[in-house]
Amino acid sequence: MAHPQSMPSYWRGIPLDGIQAGILKPHGRTCLRCAFLSFHPHKPGSPSPGSHWLTSFFKLAGITSADKQIRDTLYRKEGSDRYDGGPVISLHLSRWGYEYFHIPENTLPADPFFLAGMKSDFSIEALSDPRPDRWEKAFQTDPIHVLVLLADDDPDNLDALQQSLFEGENDRYISHLHIEAGQKLVRNGNQYEHFGYRDGISSLKFFDSDNHIIPDRLPLVLRQNGLNRYGSYLVFRKLRQNVAGFKAHLDALAGKLGLSYEQTAAQVMGRSLNGASILRKPGSSTGLKYAPIDFQEDPKGLVCPFHAHIRKSNPRDAVHQSDPHQIIRRGIPYGSEYRDHYISNIPEQEVGLLFMCYQSSINDQFAYIQKNWLNSPHAPYAHASKKEYFHVGIDPIAGQSRGDDGEQNWLDAGRKRVPYLFSDVVNLKGGEYFFAPSIAFLRELGPGNRGDHPPKKPRSYSPRRSAGRRGYTHRTRRRRGRRKTR
């Protein structure tokens, strides 16, 4: 294996040291802070407060690159298990952030959802989202210019970093600051989420076991924005998880189906609570229980229902062409700590998921999945070869109903279909669409690089110069001589 110092910073012309961390590789830290910033407006002809803050941001912290993430991984693989690469930091601009920094329109990302914003009628109607007046007040603020992600294993380090970036001297530049804190829920070394399922199993990977990039997957996440500069769209959604409602649904559905709590939970997700595929029996010749899933093994949905969450969100077959629509999930839970996977203790405070995903097109990836699969009562259709639509209901976890979508068809102990409406266990509390530009692009937004200061008048020199006198003119020497005699 190549030593980290000898690893190339470029891959087929793509500068990995210019791509922000977290896009091609998860941040890999336990704690996360999501900081949403709005800046004070600036007077015409004067430097913008946001530009001053951005300059301070690079001096105090800077942005972690994908290249550094790869090198940190290699250091740990080579035996430096205790090696700490420090915090992972990334910065994203909203549509209004681009306007605030007066970025030329020819470099503005053109995705329609990004341009409209998550609070727009266009986005709300397309995704069946609740109106912004039902969101948390922090996300009703207009406009949000910047989203900064700070990740570290030590929450005290994040507190100090947060204070240095957003408080003290930098506070005068910021008109509105809202911070969401997330933390991984770890039990016996595995990650879980508040509904009790093991998490982070089937995330799309861009590097193989030897840290070589998988080229065919890059178009899913990277978008060229300028000459040899690459970025990615980020969707952020704060999703409240109604654990009490989820448990009540499971208890009621298990009673109707004559199945156990665990068997019913497996139908809802498409995986068992421990993350194992319900399409593969333990110890079978099909390989590992966490192996990639192919739903062509179950064409009639007799084992994994068509409306199961992982099947609705990624049909995994050639007919639906799910690969071009895949998203790169980077979410993290928020709220109380994980109790147990049977959810016998209902959290007293609000809990949920800080959902985040990267993609090269919001319209063709996240929005397509949410609108055409999760929210659709007919997708994916049952008889793919005949393309006959079959009612299966909305996604029981992430589907958003308009009230007339009908019930899902669940499988009882005899594999007969039983109708039951499983919904409204996840609610949107707010969010926005962002773009993660290249690191070099963000550096150019500072006041010195953006031309916010008027250019200095060039120093004028007399054409008559004396040799060996540091370029001073005769007039300058005579003036200084007179000063000495006074």
Q: pLDDT tens digit string along 334-368?
A: 997 655 544 556 787 899 999 999 999 999 999 99
CA atoms in the 13 A half-sphere facing the CB of 195: 30
Q: Quick check: 470 pLDDT over 60?
A: no
For residue 315, being part of any structural domain is answered with: yes
Answer whether 32's CB lies under 8 Å from 150's CB: yes
pLDDT at residue 307 is higher than 80 = yes
Number of domains in the chain: 2
Whether 218 is in a domain gets the answer yes
Give the integer Cα–Cα distance in Å for 166 and 148.
Answer: 11
Neighbour count for residue 14 (Cβ, 10 Å): 19
Query: What pLDDT, on the 0 to 100 scale, is given for residue 9?
Result: 55
Q: DSSP H helical segments within 83-235, as ranges? A: 95-100, 112-116, 121-127, 137-140, 155-166
**pLDDT, mean of residues 199-208:** 83
Q: Are residues 380 and 397 in the same domain?
A: yes
Same domain membership, residue 112 and residue 11? yes
**How long a stretch of residues is the chain?**
486
Residue for token pair 């020819």 = 106
Contacts of 457 (CB under 8 A, 6+ apart): none
Least confident of 30-34, 208-212, 241-245: 208-212
Q: Beta partners for 213? A: 207
Residue, of 78 and 169, whose pLDDT is higher: 169
37 and 114 share a domain? yes
* 171 and 231 both lie in a single domain: yes
Q: Which one has a higher pLDDT value, 119 or 187?
A: 119
8 A C-beta contact, residue 49 and residue 42: yes
Same domain, 283 and 409: yes
Same domain, 55 and 118: yes
Report the pLDDT value the prediction gives residue 116, as an integer from 0 to 100. Answer: 97
Mean pLDDT score of the chain, rounded to an integer?
83
Is 473 among the domain residues? no
Q: Which of 65-79, 165-179, 459-473 bottoms out in mean pLDDT, i.e. has the lowest?
A: 459-473
- Domain co-membership, 316 together with 400: yes
pLDDT at 174 over 60: yes
pLDDT tens string 362-421: 999 999 999 999 999 887 764 444 555 578 899 999 999 877 778 998 989 888 889 999
Give residue 447's pLDDT: 78
pLDDT tens for residues 428-443? 999 999 999 999 999 9
Which of 75-84, 89-98, 136-145, 417-426 has the lowest average pLDDT? Answer: 75-84
Which pLDDT score, from 0 to 100, does residue 464 have?
44
* pLDDT at residue 453, rounded to an integer: 43
The tokens describing 427, both together, are: 């609610």
Q: Which of 381, 411, 426 is where one domain is finished?
A: 426
Question: What local confidence, expressed as pLDDT, does residue 467 receive?
Answer: 41
Task: Judge whether residue 463 has pLDDT over 70.
Answer: no
Q: What is the 3-state secondary structure (H, E, C) of 378-402?
A: CCCCCECCCCECCCCCCCCCCCCCC
pLDDT > 70: percent of the chain: 80
Residue 71 has pLDDT above 90, yes or no: no
- Mean pLDDT across 82-91: 87
Same domain, yes or no: 219 and 231:
yes
The CA distance from 464 to 475, in Å, is 9
Looking at residue 451, its pLDDT comes to 44
Domain of 82, in residue numbers:
4-239+432-450
pTM of the model: 0.86
Q: Are residues 228 and 290 in the same domain?
A: no
Distance CA 241, CA 334 (A): 10
